[in-house]
C-alpha cells in the first residue's frame, strides 16, 4: 500500500497518523511518539493527572513550556489559561522563556462558565493556545472544544480517573510525577504506545546549574513546589533546594 496516496484521515494501523498540522513539543522522545511529530493544531489534547498533582500545575508547565516558548516566538498572539489552579508566577515563567505579559488568566465560579470561556478563546483569532483545567467536563462539552480547536494548541487538564471515560480527544496522556515525568500515551492516532515516555523533571540548563553548585557529598534532591502562604490568589513558586 502506497501511504502517500492515502488521505490524512486514513493510515495503516501499524503506523502513526499523518497529522495535518502539528507543533513540536520540543521534547524529542515525546515528539517521536506523537503523530506528525508534535502537539496537534487541529484537535484537543487531554492531559490527565492525579488530583494532588493537578492542583499544583507544576508538571503541566514543565511539559508544555518548551512548545509555548517556540510558538510565542514564531507567532503573535496570547495564551489563555482557564481556571488555572494558581496564578502564574511571572519570574518562574520568565526563567522558562515564557513572556508572562502574553498570558491571559480567566477564573470562573461555575463549570459552565469555564467551558464558555474556553470556547470563546478558541474562537479568537489573536489566541495561540488555550490551557483549560476542566475536571468536570463531559464528553459532549469536550467534543465542542475539539471541533473549535483549529490552528491553535488546546490542552484540557482533568483528573486521572477520567482515563476510564470515553473522550473525543485524538490525543490523551497520563502524567505521572517523580524524579522524571512519565507520560503514558493512552490514545493517539496510530498503534498503541506500550512503554511510557520519560522526560527529565528539570530543564537541562537548570539541571546543569544545580549539579555545578551541589557539593560532592550532597545527594541529589527531587524538585518540589512550594506554595506561597500569602492571601489568595496563591502563586506556584519553584523551590530548588
Q: Are 173 and 40 in contact (CB under 8 A)?
A: no
Range 18-201 has CATH code 3.40.50.300: yes
* DSSP assignments along the chain, one per residue: --GGGS-TT---TTS----SSEE--S-HHHHTTSGGGSEESSSEEEEEE-HHHHTT-HHHHHHHHHHHHHHHHHS-SEEEEES-SSB--HHHHHHTT--GGGEEEE--SSHHHHHHHHHHHHH-TTEEEEEEE-TT--HHHHHHHHHH-SSSEEEEEEEGGGGGS----SEEEEEE-SSEEEEEEEE-SSS---SPEEEESS-HHHHHHHHHHS-TTSPP---EEEE--SSSSPBEEEE--
Residue 227: the pLDDT is 32
Best CA proximity match to 132, nearest among 24, 9, 148? 148
166 φ, ψ to 5°? -65, 145
Query: Please, which residues bridge with residue 68 across strands?
Result: none
In a structure prediction context, what are the per-residue pLDDT tens digits for the chain, which is 241 residues long? 555 555 555 545 555 556 568 999 999 999 999 999 999 999 999 999 999 988 888 899 999 999 999 999 999 999 999 999 988 888 888 888 899 999 999 999 899 999 999 999 999 999 999 999 999 899 999 999 999 999 999 999 999 999 999 999 999 999 998 878 999 999 998 888 889 999 975 555 555 554 565 555 444 443 333 333 333 333 333 333 2
Amino acid at each position: 500500500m502506497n501511504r502517500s496516496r492515502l488521505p490524512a484521515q486514513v493510515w495503516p494501523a501499524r503506523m502513526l497518523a499523518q497529522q495535518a498540522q502539528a507543533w513540536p513539543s520540543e521534547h524529542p522522545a515525546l515528539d517521536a511518539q506523537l503523530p506528525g511529530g508534535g502537539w496537534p493544531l487541529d484537535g484537543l489534547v487531554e492531559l490527565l493527572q492525579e488530583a494532588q498533582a493537578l492542583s499544583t500545575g507544576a508538571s503541566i508547565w514543565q511539559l508544555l513550556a518548551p512548545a509555548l516558548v517556540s510558538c510565542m516566538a514564531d507567532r503573535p498572539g496570547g495564551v489563555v489559561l482557564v481556571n488555572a489552579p494558581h496564578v502564574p508566577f511571572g519570574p518562574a515563567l520568565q526563567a522558562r522563556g515564557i513572556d508572562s505579559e502574553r498570558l491571559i488568566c480567566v477564573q470562573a465560579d461555575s463549570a459552565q462558565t469555564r467551558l464558555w470561556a474556553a470556547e470563546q478563546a478558541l474562537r479568537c483569532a489573536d489566541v495561540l493556545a488555550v490551557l483549560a483545567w476542566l475536571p468536570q467536563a463531559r464528553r459532549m462539552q469536550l467534543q465542542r472544544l475539539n471541533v473549535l480547536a483549529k490552528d491553535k494548541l488546546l490542552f484540557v487538564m482533568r483528573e486521572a480517573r477520567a482515563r476510564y471515560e470515553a473522550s473525543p480527544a485524538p490525543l490523551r496522556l497520563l502524567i505521572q510525577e517523580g524524579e522524571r515525568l512519565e507520560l503514558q500515551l493512552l490514545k493517539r492516532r496510530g498503534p498503541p504506545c506500550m512503554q511510557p515516555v520519560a522526560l527529565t523533571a528539570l530543564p537541562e540548563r537548570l539541571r546543569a546549574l544545580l549539579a555545578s553548585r551541589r557539593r560532592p557529598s550532597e545527594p541529589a534532591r527531587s524538585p518540589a513546589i512550594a506554595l506561597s502562604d500569602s492571601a489568595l490568589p496563591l502563586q506556584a513558586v519553584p523551590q530548588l533546594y
